[in-house]
Amino acid sequence: MLASRLPTWRSKFIIVLMFAAFGGLAARAFWVQVVNQNFYAGQGQKRYQRVIELDATRGRIVDRNGSMLAVSLATYEVWATPRLLDETCFLPLARLLKVPLVELRSRVAGDKTFVLLKRQVDADTASAIDKLQLAGITQIADSKRFYPEGESAAHVVGFTDIEDKGQEGVELAANLQLSGAAGQREVIRDRLGRVVSDTRPLVPAHNGATIRLTIDRRIQQLAYAQLKAAIAKHSAEAGSVVVLDARNGEILALANYPSFDPNDRTRLSGRQLRNRAVVDTFEPGSTIKPLVVALSMDKGMVGPQSLIDTTPGWYRIGPAVIHDTSNHGVMTVAEAVQKSSNIALAKLALNLPAETIWNKYQEYGLGRRPELTFPGAAAGKVRPHRRWRPIEQATMAYGYGLSASLLQLAQMYTAYAGDGTLHPVRLLLEDTVERQPGGQMNEQQDGDGLAPAADSGDSPLTAGFSHAVTTPATAHAIREMLEMATGPGGTGRAAAVDGYRVGGKTGTARKQIGVSYAKNRYRALFVGMAPMSDPRLIVAVMIDDPAGKAFYGGTVAGPVFGAVTGGALQLLGVPPDA
């Protein structure tokens, strides 16, 4: 027996130690649960307390009439806790998520606590997964950007990445306004990561602003369809169409081909992404001829009926020789525009000081960084006038030796559509940016119509001021010449529109490959306006590298101008004037 083997004092000592140990434990429990309860409760709470970021809903992008161009749709992220999964869940889950069964199993293999199975799962699929009541499967609210117009407006609207950040187009240019501001929610999670309670009031998210563009969805679709058809017809490499409101420079359509579907970006290439109307520059050819004609008239050197001798159809400048397509003989300035005489324009340019011409190019925005800071917008090139040789001064007058984008050419013609005022191009409709429900709208709006945001700066989609570049009388005279160019004897007859008087200038520019011009490779161009009684639209067309016998601006780009202009005028309800 233990009592017989241990002395009495040792037995008592052990009993005392046991009571002391129990007493210590009781005292510690009292200290933790009563005396210092708040401290230890707080420490325990911190272990499971988390701050969750509440995503703001990205703002919508709409056209001038409110039609949707970009919107965020509700989707879900599907997560798994591998140790809680049942073997029977894999097959139905793989079918619903459209993920191979082997791949799904590999994602949850190993010692993982929380695994993302798929993002941007649509609401119907998420609902079907919910009905399965699978243990270990959690769904978290997410969103996916959707672009209703698809490839027709892709280069204007752009797209976002998987994190909902703008990557191209308006999505990138107005990313700050569209993004809004995230909120916060402080919560307590259990050991499985589930939210069990809030610890303090949430900070609400401020949803992004709705951006209303100057684009007219109907005209955008029309321009893209006509461009795509023309490129297929002529087996061309690429092309662009720009449609402006002649009265204020607002961009009604900006189409490029090839394009891409922003809803499916799995097979994108740089060629598809290229916003050619804005970022590509090229020698504009004869489309630039009205500029030197207008300048010569403003300086009082010539009038529309002044005579220029272009005999015998070629003209020597130093060692170089320039040609017309035929011998036009003695012709008026108006006929020089109508028949697109290189010799006539060269003679006009050589009678002007180089600096005077260069300054006028600057006034038109040629060779200058565009005020519309759209992603990648190109400035074009005009060499400093001090470096011009006579042959360069002559050839620039008919569009060789300088470069511009199609958007810049379209803007140039705003001066001739009205009273000689050049209007800045604009992509954001003023005073129409709104906050979505759940967001905030400042009562003060800046001059560009954007709700002010900290460190946002000026809107990248609107910039610049209208300014005169020629006189009203000269602008009127240029319009008459442009109308002659699309009439009998003109180079742009194929641009005619039933029921409307139109005017414009053709351009057929040889493509420069390296340091020399390629043989039989061209850019076909047409820039014009309508109706001539009171111009409402400016339409610029560029078809790059058409194959086959047809390559002139009048025969390739002219019909695209006619189709787009005629359709757009009818869509806008502009009455016929012919």
Other beta carbons within 10 angstroms of residue 576's beta carbon come to 13
Q: Whole-angstrom Cα distance, residue 65 to residue 61? A: 11
> Taking CA 174 as the corner, what is the angle to CA 170 and CA 178, rounded to the nearest 5 degrees?
105
Please confirm, yes or no, whether 286 is among the known catalytic residues: yes
Q: Whole-angstrom Cα distance, residue 325 to residue 508? A: 12
Give the pair of three-digit tokens for residue 260: 């891409």
Closest of 414, 410, 433, 431 to residue 422, by C-alpha: 414
3-state secondary structure of 418: coil
Q: Whole-angstrom Cα distance, residue 146 to residue 130? A: 24
**Active-site residue, selected from the candidate residues 72, 152, 286, 341:** 286
Q: Whole-angstrom Cα distance, residue 54 to residue 184? A: 5
Closest of 177, 157, 181 to residue 167, by C-alpha: 157
> Do strands 467-468 and 238-245 pair parallel, antiparallel, or not at all (unpaired)?
unpaired
110: number of CA atoms within 13 Å, CB side? 6
Tell me the C-alpha to C-alpha distance, in Å, between residue 82 and each of 1, 91, 102, 138, 559: 56, 15, 15, 11, 63
Tell me the C-alpha to C-alpha distance, in Å, between residue 337 and each of 286, 299, 304, 308, 525: 9, 18, 10, 12, 15
Q: Whole-angstrom Cα distance, residue 239 to residue 226? A: 11
C-alpha 81 chain-centroid distance: 40
Which residues are the active-site residues?
Answer: 286
